[in-house]
Structure 1
Amino acid sequence: MTTALLASALLLFASHAVPSWPGVRPALVARLGRPGFAALHSVGSLVTLALFVFAYAEAGGGMPLFVPADWAPPLVAALMPLVFLLLAARVTTRFGEPAAPNPPRGIYRITRFPGSVGLLLWALLHLQATGDGRRVVLFVTMAAIALFAMAKNDWLLRRSAEGRAFRAETSILPFAAILAGRQRLALAEIGWARPFGGLAAYAAMLAVHPLLFGVDPLWWLG
């Protein structure tokens, strides 16, 4: 683990947190316009991501911090399809704006923030299945980005009547609102295409994971 890796991780987090900080985004949109803000945000995110990837590669294997439990890799393989389903459903289901969210539908009946919950689950699963310093930095950074996004968006929801109504009908913890009777499970709204797409993306990731990251997620099968 190097100072460059830690610094690039902080920059990566800041590239997501600062532009979306309450008050900062509206000011930038007012000055740059929505296309200008989107371009600035995209470029900043890509540059900081590239710096992180470079620092990650230069850090080498990293110092071992702990030894993962034997059950950790199978748990990751078993639960990652859920991550891909959450992400696929988030991308293909409209949320609206934090100040005026659409009525809960599909995946939003299950969890208020499916994208962030998916990213957090991905980070936590991989964090307990690895042990070297540089990957711990990677997954802690991703978890921090997900937690910040949930906290920020939840704060924004509280600021409008529509947002407060959305919060009252949903939960961050998956299925909590359904179990509490504040929401109902409507699988028909999710459909078959989203789970199929999530599983297809998961299968593709299993195939390319050894090439991209040098680790076979199913190595424990022997």
Structure 2
Amino acid sequence: MTADLSLAALVLFASHALPSWPGVRPALIARMGRGGFVALHSLGSTLALLLFIWAYREAAGSALLFTPAGWAAPLVVALMPLAFLLIVARVTSKAGHPEAPNTPAGIFRITRYPGSLGLLLWALLHVQATGDGRRVVLFGTMAAIALFAMVKNDWVLRRSEAGRAYRTETSVLPFAAILAGRQRLALTEIGWGRLLGGLAAYAGMIAVHPLLFGIDPLYWL
């Protein structure tokens, strides 16, 4: 692992965190216009990602920080469908603005932040199954971005009456609000389409994983 990769990871995290911090986005839009903000944000995010990819490639052959357990790879394969389902369900569901969230429905009855939780699960599963320095930095950065999003959105929710009510009705921990009686499980609101979409995305990733990353997730079978 090199200093360049650590710096690139910090830049990538900042490219996600800074523009989304409360007050920053509206201020930039007021100053630059929505089109200008979108263009600047897109350019900055792209450059940060390209910088990280370059640093990641340069760090090839980084030292092994720990040896993954024998059950690490099978655990990734077993639980990644859940990560894909959470992300697909979030992308295809409307949550509203953190200061004026929609009434909890579908996947939001199960967890308040399905997309960020799916990304966090993705990152943590892969950290424990890799062990080399550069991939620990990669997935550690993913985890940091997901955690930041959850903490930031929770802070924003606390600022409005509607947001505080939404926090009371939902939970970050999956099914906690349902078990506490604050929500009910409504699988029909999630729908078969999202379930099948998540599984299809997972199957697609399994198929292209060896081509994109040089590793077959099913090598242990």
For the criterion TM > 0.5, the same-fold answer is yes
Show the counterpart of 1:177. Answer: 177
Show the counterpart of 1:109. Answer: 109
Show the counterpart of 1:139. Answer: 139
In the alignment, structure 1 residue 45 sits paired with structure 2 residue 51: no
Show the counterpart of 1:158. Answer: 158
Distance 1:152 1:220 in 2: 39
Identity %: 74
**Structure 1: unaligned runs, 5 residues or longer:** none
In the alignment, structure 1 residue 29 sits paired with structure 2 residue 35: no
Show the counterpart of 1:100. Answer: 100
Distance 2:125 2:138 in 1: 12
Count of matched residue pairs: 221
Distance 2:61 2:173 in 1: 34
Show the counterpart of 1:81. Answer: 81
Q: Is the partner of 1:18 in helix, strand or coil?
A: helix
Distance 1:181 1:42 in 2: 42
Distance 1:61 1:148 in 2: 29
Distance 2:159 2:205 in 1: 39
TM-score where L is the length of structure 1: 0.98
Corresponding letter in the other structure for 2:9:
A
Show the counterpart of 1:190. Answer: 190
Distance 1:211 1:62 in 2: 21
Show the counterpart of 1:208. Answer: 208
In the alignment, structure 1 residue 11 sits paired with structure 2 residue 11: yes
Superposed displacement of residue 35, structure 1: 2.6
Superposed displacement of residue 62, structure 1: 1.2
Q: Is the partner of 2:53 in helix, strand or coil?
A: helix
Distance 1:36 1:162 in 2: 31
Corresponding letter in the other structure for 1:212:
L
* 1:32-84 deviation line (CA, Å, top 9, x unaligned): 22232222212211110111011101111211000000001000000000011
Q: Is the partner of 2:19 in helix, strand or coil?
A: coil
Distance 2:39 2:82 in 1: 31
Distance 2:33 2:183 in 1: 37
RMSD value, Cα: 0.8
**Structure 2: unaligned runs, 5 residues or longer:** none
Superposed displacement of residue 3, structure 1: 1.1
Superposed displacement of residue 129, structure 1: 0.5
Greater alpha carbon shift after TM alignment, 124-133 vs 23-32: 23-32
Greater alpha carbon shift after TM alignment, 191-200 vs 29-38: 29-38
Distance 2:52 2:35 in 1: 26
Corresponding letter in the other structure for 2:75:
L
Corresponding letter in the other structure for 1:117:
L
Greater alpha carbon shift after TM alignment, 24-33 vs 208-217: 24-33
* 1:72-112 deviation line (CA, Å, top 9, x unaligned): 10000000000110010000000111111110010000110
Superposed displacement of residue 153, structure 1: 0.5
Distance 2:88 2:121 in 1: 14
Distance 1:125 1:85 in 2: 15
